Amino acid sequence: MKHIMQKMDLYETLYLLNRGFEIVVMNCKRLEQQGLFQNEYLKTLRIKAEELRAGANHELTSTLRAREQEEWAHYERLTRKMQNQFANHDMRGLRSANKSAARKKGR
């Protein structure tokens, strides 16, 4: 459960980081529309914020992708192990049923 909460917190934090960048971009646009400030300066701020957001997302999601891929492989191995255990259990049950049926025929 702790791992799931950490994962949720991680993705929520990434969302909040992106939301923060979006707030900066939106407020720069609003200031541009008011016409009081130099639009070129505000446009430069917007572009820098977008560049930072894109760079941060690229780096952070690359790390997350590698981590998720490792986790996926881990759970895939566990799934195969469980499927093999169920298959073995079913085979034992089938052999046992066949033995019981053979004994009944022999009576």
Overall pTM > 0.85: no
Convert the pLDDT of each residue in 22-69 to its tens digit: 999 999 999 999 999 899 999 999 999 999 999 999 999 999 999 999
8 Å CB contact between 46 and 29: yes
Q: Tell me, what DSSP letter sits at residue 36?
A: S
Query: Helix, strand, or coil here: 30?
Result: helix
pLDDT above 90 for 104: no
Domain ranges of the chain: 16-106
Convert the pLDDT of each residue in 88-99 to its tens digit: 776 676 666 666
